[in-house]
Amino acid sequence: MFLDQFKARMGPDGIHLFSRSSGLNVLFDEVSVPATSWSSAPRQVSIALTNACDLRCSYCYAPKQRARLDYDHVAKWLLELDDAGCLGVGFGGGEPTLHPDFVQLCKFVSQSTKLAVTFTTHSHRLNERIVTDLKGHVHFIRVSMDGVGSTYETLRGRSFSRFRGQLGLLRTLAPFGVNFVVNEATFPDIDDAISIAIECGASEFLLLPERATRARSGMDVHTRSALCRWIGAFDRRIRLAVSEADKEGLPICNPLAREKGLRSYAHIDASGALKRSSFDEIGVLIDALGVCAALQHLQRRVGE
């Protein structure tokens, strides 16, 4: 049956149906769902499988201490999240392809849950063997492209022409989108980046305003103002998105306006701490009671 393709989630905005195979979302916002029936898990959860990465981007805010999640723990959390109404999990890091069980975890999610499987990658470690192993087990890929040409090569220390070739490999695996960190160096390249993303077959362009780190101050106010103007004039050649934690003040459509904060999104770092985002300092370690218990603890701590 057609409806068998969908997973249902209950929340303050109504009944949300999602198909991981097609990416189709259907929202019955005329339905009032009592709070007692709302799904208890966040709509989306990202999991940093490892802090390891073979790039050294100066603006990266990922933790630099060595940490890696255990397969059995992650598998247990994924089953719990699936049962509690989560719609999708995104594997990241660090670079998730550096985790020894990365492929096995993607297969576990696709075969043992109804969660959509995504991962975020710089793409340079992907090859035909990994792509073949992952086929049928990944529903969407996010690939990082911060600037084009010499800007990309200066910031990421890798060949941009090789990166473009990797996009051709990615599109044989699953639909993909481009993640674009916006700062003073990359913003002048944003229109060229959009054109390249469309040419290479990307279906989404995700804006990531640079976050402050100990070494850098993040996106400056002038670049943020310019980005807001650019979004307002955008011609919609490709689906435009912004991360949950960065959408404040940016003119991006949000169809699930009442599903905010930890109801919408949560992050599990490579040490097993549940947080509001990957750069948040407040976290609750997930213990034997599981993810939802840690979520309730975190909600009390942050006042949600």
Model confidence over 165-207: pLDDT tens digits?
999 999 999 999 999 999 999 999 999 999 999 999 999 999 9
CA 120, distance to chain mean position in Å, is 7
Q: Which residues contact 125 (CB under 8 A, 6 or more apart)?
A: 54, 95, 97, 98
In a domain, residue 46? The reply is: yes
Q: Is 106 domain-assigned?
A: yes
Range of the domain at 207: 39-302
Give the tens place of pLDDT for each residue, 272-296.
999 999 888 899 999 999 999 999 9
In a domain, 201, yes or no: yes
Residue 54 falls within a domain, yes or no? yes
Angle among Cα 301, 242, 168 to the nearest 5 degrees reads: 125
Q: pTM of the full predicted structure? A: 0.93
The pLDDT value recorded for residue 247 is 63
User: What are the structure tokens assigned to 227, written together?
Assistant: 């980005």
- 128 domain residue, yes or no: yes
Alpha carbons 93 and 108: distance in angstroms, whole number: 18
293 vs 297: CA distance, rounded Å? 6
In a domain, 185, yes or no: yes
């630099």: which residue's tokens? 64
Question: Is 284 part of a structural domain of the chain?
Answer: yes
Q: Is residue 248 predicted with pLDDT exceeding 70? A: no
Q: Dihedral (C-alpha) 279, 294, 255, 176: value to the nearest 10 degrees?
A: 60
Looking at the structure of the chain, the number of domains it has is 1
Task: For the chain, give the percent of residues with pLDDT over 90.
Answer: 78
Q: Is residue 29 in some structural domain?
A: no
CATH code of 161's domain:
3.20.20.70
